[in-house]
Structure 1
Amino acid sequence: MVKLSRFESAECPVARSLDAIGDGWALLIIRDAFDGIRRFGEFQRSLGVAKNILATRLRSLVTHGILEIAPASDGSAYQEYVLTEKGRGLFAVIIGLRQWGEAFFYTEGEAHSVMVDHEQGQPLRALELRSADGRLLGPEDCRRVAPPTAR
């Protein structure tokens, strides 16, 4: 994917985040990493993406500190890709995209994978955005404010 613009210095956190994540392939790699996939060949089989595209996306995710390369957990000579703290911070983003997709891209009763709580085996509740005092917030309840230096 050719990047037309760099947003690493952008004022907007969404733009900076997209600069690090890059595209949909990167999000699917991150999703698979949360599912326990760690090796290049496993990512390639899961995603069906061309090896050159996968290599580019993995390299970018490592460069941005979302994944790190570690020795294979089984002691073999292979290397594995492991989520960093920054990468694990994307869990709510992945769940949010999943829940949005479930709400808007499936017909009622259409089969799809379900994310469940490991301990209880129950589906996750919908993510909610709440104010500091606990009120449930929607888009109409929020606004973006310019940083103090730009006012």
Structure 2
Amino acid sequence: MQHKSFGEMQCAIARSLERVGEWWSILILRDAFHGLTRFNQFQESLGIAPNMLARRLNSLVDAGLLERRRYCERPPRDEYFLTERGRDFRPVLWALVAWGNRHFSPDGHTLDIVDAKTGAVADPVLVDRLSGRPLEAPAFRVVAGPAAADPLRARYAARSAQSEEGSRA
């Protein structure tokens, strides 16, 4: 079954999901961060069908998150490496680890993010790079950006007006 494409939507979340929204894609990226590069390594780690893995790897290459490099001509074999765009996904994965640990780990954490020098467990938060302040509501909110089309601007303007009205009540 073919899903709707989000690639041309105005929303940055939708555009991002077009590239990594299929769960196998995120798990492949996770494994790539752990140093896996070869088809058989991904397949062994994930237990994924070969045809599905090939589609997901091709999709991640097409999205510019992985780079394919040939390491054997006969038979043709490729390795997959994170690109700069792919490496930029690391904070998203770490946020998922922290969120999953907080909400879906009844038996305790299976993964922790730690300081590489001290081994101290980290508690990741998303912060504004300019101010260093945690990105938390109500101090921060989402607004339409400069490239937003009029319908998106109108939708966010209406939400902003509603939230201002609610804060006055």
TM-score (norm 2): 0.76
Counting matched residue pairs gives 147
Contact 2:125 2:134 in 1 (8 A): no
Q: What is the Cα deviation at residue 140 of structure 1?
A: 2.9
Residue correspondence of structure 1 range 99-114 to structure 2 within 5 A:
99-107=98-106, 110-114=108-112
Q: Counterpart of 1:47?
A: 46
Instruction: Tell me the SS of whatever aligns to 1:46.
Output: helix
Q: What is the Cα deviation at residue 6 of structure 1?
A: 1.4
- Alpha-carbon distance in structure 1 between the residues aligned to 2:87 and 2:42: 17
Percent identical across equivalent pairs?
Answer: 39
Q: Counterpart of 2:114?
A: 116
Contact 1:38 1:81 in 2 (8 A): yes
Residue correspondence of structure 1 range 18-33 to structure 2 within 5 A:
18-33=17-32
Residue deviations 1:55-108, cap 9 Å, x none? Answer: 110010001110011244xxxx7421000000000000000001000000012x
Unaligned runs of 5+ in 2: 154-169
Residue deviations 1:4-28, cap 9 Å, x none? Answer: 2212221111000001113111000
Contact 1:131 1:137 in 2 (8 A): no
Unaligned runs of 5+ in 1: none
Q: Which runs of 4+ in 1 moved over 6 A?
A: none
TM-score (norm 1): 0.84
Q: Counterpart of 1:84?
A: 83
Q: What is the Cα deviation at residue 132 of structure 1?
A: 3.7
Structure number with higher relative contact order (C-alpha < 8 Å, ≥ 6 residues apart): 1
Task: Pick the structure with greater CA Rg.
Answer: 2
